[in-house]
Amino acid sequence: MATTLTSFFPFKAQVLLAALTLLGATAAGYAQQGKAAEKKAHSYGEKLSEAFTKMKPLQDAQDYPGMIKLLESVPVVPGSYDEASVLNTKARIYAATSKYSDAMKAWERVVQLNDQSEYFAEKDMTEVIFFLAQLNAQEASGSKDPKIQSEYFKKSVGYFRRYFDKTPKPSPDIISTYASILYYSAVADPNNIDHALLKETRTIIDRALTSAIKPKESFYQLYLALLQQQNDLVASSEILELVLKQNPAKKDYWAMLFAIYLQLNDKAREKDPGMARDYLVRAIVTLERAQALGFLNTPKDNMNLVSFYLLANQFTKGTELLYSGMKKGTIESEPHNWRILGRYYQEANLYQQAVTVLKEATALFPTNGELEVQIAQIYLQMEKTREAFTHAKLAVSKGNFKDTKPYGVHYLRAYTAYELGDLEESMKALEEAQKFSEHEKDTQFARLKEVVGEALNEKAEKAKAKETPKKADASKAPSPTSAAPATKTGTPSKAATQSK
């Protein structure tokens, strides 16, 4: 979720509109201000009164530089009511002409003078303080220096708090603006997050949610950013569900909600398996809801859906989605995915179905040896050794191994050949396997090679005995190391071939 500070509060437009409205004051208006001031024993000096009478023609002509020049021509006593009045008027002109830094400096001096002498009505000063709160936030948003950002944000927060002291019922927009400023003030320094401010921000947001009939989307974006800072995944999912209920066309929100449910599933897996499964189901349903709207339906997304169905032990649904998806093209039809399908059938002891889909895959990918390896291993589990040997040989001849080590393939061929009594083929395969370093740590390899070697020696001895009967009579004693069928002790187990 990508959001920016200015996406939460368009200060310039707000201040400009307000300043132009306030500049609507005519010379008569200024005279009225003077009368109001006289009630408080504050009045303009002669020079300033004269300047204000000349203001209207310049204002009508939108001659703002002329208005500033006129005001600057008036001599004022530092700290006086005249100084405060001139600065207040100049600040409004600056704001109306987008000179926000100048407006901010002028208004800050006005506030300082008013705090000392109470020159202006409380309502007017509350308005000025509100402008300063926004302008300081605007300056912060325009800076890339964390230190400068932090300074402006602190000033903005201070002015907003003064504004709320005098405004018991601020509008929802103002509340959300303040929450935005609090949040960005809290995270201005990524290395030193102000968690107290984050907590205050959340309180303000909760208040805004209850006061606004229909909060703006940018406000929900802020709330989500805050919840993620606090790592509150549960509340984040609740807010996303609410937003998507109101506006289901938000593609990015679907992806975010799906990811959050997966995170919750992962966190709950050890402590609360039941809750973990609930979150997994929510993730699946979220993905399906998004797909019904046309979102998150890439081949990768569809494969994810399969994986999560299988993870939820929904074997029938998962394998059905995978097979139909590869046939229709909504899931990538590639060897790895076909092997996954075969493996899940295999793990469910549906060996014949596993073989069937894997053979279908070999027709699609005739040069892929890994599919043949998997078929050979399944046939071995089915105790169909001859078929296992056939596909082991096919695997060797095809090659193109990506996830399978060639050593294991040659060993599988050697083992199945030995089981069938083809000792020469078995030894040939063992010699190929021995070219790979894995054989050095494999005790099964050494044992099988010893048995095959001894059996070949015995076979040779017997053949030699037939040629020389006399010598054969001298060697009729049975050999203690005679070759044994594959089921006898000392022969590598069938399971050993499954792990290579």
Whether residues 23 and 144 fall in one domain = yes
Query: CB–CB of 429/417 below 8 Å?
Result: yes
Give the count of beta carbons closer than 10 Å to the beta carbon of residue 277. 16
pLDDT value at 125 more than 70: yes
In a domain, 65, yes or no: yes
Whether residues 150 and 281 fall in one domain = no
pLDDT value at 112 more than 70: yes
In which residue are the tokens 């950013």 written?
A: 225
In a domain, 419, yes or no: no
Return the pLDDT at 488: 37
Return the pLDDT at 190: 79
pTM of this structure? 0.67
Whether residues 147 and 244 fall in one domain = no
pLDDT value at 272 more than 60: yes
Give dist(CA 82, CA 445) in Å, integer.
Answer: 101
Return the pLDDT at 327: 92
Residue count (the chain): 500
Whether residues 29 and 124 fall in one domain = yes
Helix (H, G, I), strand (E, B) or coil at 288: helix
Q: What percent of the chain clears pLDDT 90, i.e. is strictly above it?
A: 49
Query: CB–CB of 177/153 below 8 Å?
Result: no
Give dist(CA 261, CA 110) in Å, integer.
Answer: 52
φ, ψ dihedrals at 447, nearest 5°? -65, -45
86 token code pair: 């001139």
In a domain, 416, yes or no: no
CA angle (67 as vertex; 56, 133 as ends), nearest 5: 105
Whether residues 247 and 102 fall in one domain = no
Q: Higher confidence at residue 168 or residue 162?
A: 162
In a domain, 464, yes or no: no
Give dist(CA 321, CA 114) in Å, integer.
Answer: 72
pLDDT tens figures, 171-218: 877 887 888 888 888 887 778 888 888 988 888 888 777 776 777 777
In which residue are the tokens 């229909």 written?
A: 214
Average pLDDT, the chain: 84
pLDDT value at 29 more than 50: no
Task: Using pLDDT thresholds of 50, 70 and 90, give the confidence band for residue 464.
Answer: confident
Q: Domain span at residue 235?
A: 231-296
pLDDT value at 226 more than 60: yes
User: What CATH number is attached to the domain comprising 103?
Assistant: 1.25.40
Surface-to-core class of residue 255, CB atoms within 10 Å of its CB (0-12 exposed, 13-18 middle, 19+ buried):
middle
From residue 447, alpha-carbon distances to 122, 428, 489 in Å are 96, 16, 11
Q: Which of 142, 167, 192 is the last residue of a domain?
A: 167
Return the pLDDT at 13: 41
**Mean pLDDT of all residues in 143-163:** 89
Give dist(CA 184, CA 226) in Å, integer.
Answer: 10
Query: CB–CB of 449/440 below 8 Å?
Result: no
Count Cα atoms within 13 angstroms, Cβ side, for 464: 11
Q: Which of 276, 296, 316 is the last residue of a domain?
A: 296
Return the pLDDT at 71: 93
Helical pair 11-22 and 122-141, crossing angle rounded to 10 deg: 150
In a domain, 265, yes or no: yes
Give dist(CA 216, CA 354) in Å, integer.
Answer: 53
In which residue are the tokens 């070999």 written?
A: 362
Flag the least confident range among 22-31, 365-374, 394-403, 417-426. Answer: 22-31
pLDDT value at 481 more than 70: no
pLDDT value at 487 more than 60: no
Query: CB–CB of 386/394 below 8 Å?
Result: no
Task: Using pLDDT thresholds of 50, 70 and 90, give the confidence band for residue 371.
Answer: very high
Task: Using pLDDT thresholds of 50, 70 and 90, give the confidence band for residue 2.
Answer: very low
Q: Which of 274, 296, 318 is the last residue of a domain?
A: 296
Question: Among 98, 123, 119, which Cα is nearest to 43's?
Answer: 119
Structural domains of the chain, count? 2
In a domain, 120, yes or no: yes
Return the pLDDT at 492: 56
In a domain, 276, yes or no: yes
Return the pLDDT at 77: 94
Give dist(CA 107, CA 133) in Å, integer.
Answer: 11
Query: CB–CB of 386/372 below 8 Å?
Result: no
Q: In 270-311, which residue ranges form alpha helices assigned H by DSSP? A: 273-292, 299-311
Give the count of beta carbons closer than 10 Å to the beta carbon of residue 369. 24
Catalogue the E-assigned strands of 107-251. Answer: none
Return the pLDDT at 497: 58
301 token code pair: 């997304």
Q: Return all residues near 208 (Cβ < 8 A) that are at least 6 apart.
A: 172, 175, 176, 179, 215, 219
Return the pLDDT at 452: 86
Whether residues 129 and 40 fall in one domain = yes
CA angle (225 as vertex; 219, 230 as ends), nearest 5: 130
Return the pLDDT at 40: 55
Whether residues 255 and 143 fall in one domain = no
Torsion of CA 109, 111, 115, 119, to 10 degrees: 90
In a domain, 305, yes or no: no
Task: Using pLDDT thresholds of 50, 70 and 90, give the confidence band for residue 285.
Answer: very high
Query: CB–CB of 412/406 below 8 Å?
Result: no
Q: Return all residues near 38 (Cβ < 8 A) that are at least 6 apart.
A: none
Whether residues 161 and 235 fall in one domain = no
pLDDT value at 379 more than 80: yes
Encode 18-34: b = buried (16+ Cβ within 10 Å), e = exposed: bbeebbebebeebeebb
Question: Among 263, 348, 394, 143, which Cα is nearest to 151's?
Answer: 143
**Residue 493 DSSP class:** P
**Mean pLDDT of all residues in 292-306:** 93
Query: CB–CB of 254/241 below 8 Å?
Result: no
Flag the least confident range among 397-401, 425-429, 460-464. Answer: 460-464
Task: Using pLDDT thresholds of 50, 70 and 90, give the confidence band for residue 500.
Answer: low
**Residue 4 DSSP class:** -
pLDDT value at 44 more than 60: yes
Task: Using pLDDT thresholds of 50, 70 and 90, give the confidence band for residue 158.
Answer: very high
In which residue are the tokens 């050794």 written?
A: 385
Flag the least confident range among 24-33, 330-339, 468-477. Answer: 24-33
**Mean pLDDT of all residues in 72-77:** 94
231 token code pair: 């790592």
Task: Using pLDDT thresholds of 50, 70 and 90, give the confidence band for residue 223.
Answer: confident
